[in-house]
Chains A and B, each alone.
Chain A
Amino acid sequence: MVKFGSLSTTAKVVLGFIGTAIATFLVLFYIFYEGPFYLVAHQPTQPINYSHKVHADDNKIPCQYCHTFARRSEMSGVPGAARCMNCHESVKQEAPEIKKVIAHYENNKPIEWVKVFDLPDHVWFSHKKHIAKDVSCQTCHGPIEKMDVVSRTNDFQMGFCLDCHQENEAPTDCWTCHT
């Protein structure tokens, strides 16, 4: 074993430099993964100022009235403008935001919503399976019925999924989610 003291100055500097670099890298990594960066609430501006609070809380519309595919598909399905018009044909036609929706509907132009909840490509998630097991929407999406503007309150790291899966003895094989 070569003693540190027996090295030349240059070697000491180089080793010190490398050591510091690695240490900094590790610290930054740890912060990045476990620290608050990742939890920054993702709250994008949507093309239409839609409020989940008004619909789901004040008016008690069930989630799956709009997100129709949630119970039968991997995707929950963002409703098309036609779904909005089911009610807004007769409700609040004069509100400026509703007018925008009507314009989209009449021009047959889809509304381009900005995605709030997103999983990386290497994760496969099925809404259907979770709803079949009576996992509530709020477990992952947070108190969404209280939000005027949707923001992401969860970091969706693998630990979050696994904790729940282990607690409920759901499958924890890697290929359950990663293909």
Chain B
Amino acid sequence: MKSFNYKKHNDYKWAMTVDLDRCDGCGACVVACQAENNIPSLGVEQTQEGRNMLWLRIERYIEGSYPDVKVRFLPMMCQHCDTAPCESVCPVYATYQNNEGLNVQVYNRCVGTRFCGNNCPYSVRYFNWYDPDFEGKEKNQLNPDVSLREKGIMEKCTFCMQRIRRGKDNAADEGREVHDGDIKPACVQTCPTGALEFGNINDHHSRVSKLAHSGRAISLFEEKGTHPSVKYLKGGTADVF
């Protein structure tokens, strides 16, 4: 069997930056993700069990007490770690790092041990407790580029792999490299404040690369050594008074 040459130098390494100073918690990214990736809505009972599967959620943190309250929002999706804790625990090799820096989840390999979800410090992997329930007219909306995940497997944010693929295909058809801004995951494209940026961090002229090296960038749980591809840009506070 031939080996897959993962360490080969690659032109692309996809990364995202989240500007916490811009994010106003509106939630457009959450619904955009749901619309793009055929994520089922589970209803009240499943939500009570904590089984909802929003690939992208906005975490909210409160500090202080009235009247000096601070509330911060933090969009949280799969961090596509370079050394991902989820990968090493998968017994069936259903999740691995591909050569473009993406943390791949292969649905048809997954056997549903849920080890990866357990091992993920960011808790961004979701388990399908039931088959997705898209009945009747709702089927019309499903995105044909994204497969439906069936009962018993894990799923998570893919950085909108289908859009990356289409972007690369279109670039290949025109015989060029992917330009910065060609590829936008659903959340990035919709973000009204422009808090999210996506691009090729290997290209030093890309916006995402500039932001990720701007000095404002931090990684979450850096001490765990996960080396995430998602960088958060610090929110500053101005001293108004």
Contact = CB atoms under 8 A, between A and B. Distances in A.
Determine whether A and B are in direct contact in the complex, meaning some CB atoms lie less than 8 angstroms apart. Answer: yes
Interface of A: 120-124, 126, 128-129, 132, 166, 172-176, 178-179
A179 B146 contact: yes
Contacts of A174: 96, 98, 104, 106, 109
Given A121-B148, A179-B165, A166 B2 contact: yes
A95 B2 CA distance: 54
Contacts of B162: 124, 179
Given A175-B98, A179-B162, A122 B107 contact: yes
- Main secondary structure on chain B at its contact with chain A? loop
Nearest to A158: B108
Most B CB within 10 A of own CB, among A124, A129, A174: A174
Nearest to B95: A174
Given A121-B147, A122-B147, A166-B2, A128 B161 contact: no
B241 interface: no
A121 B107 CA distance: 11
Most A CB within 10 A of own CB, among B99, B109, B147: B147
Nearest to B160: A179
B4 A172 contact: yes
A124 B145 CA distance: 7
Contact of B104 (A121, A172, A175): A175
A178 B96 CA distance: 13
B169 A129 contact: yes
Given A122-B108, A126-B169, A166-B2, A175 B146 contact: no
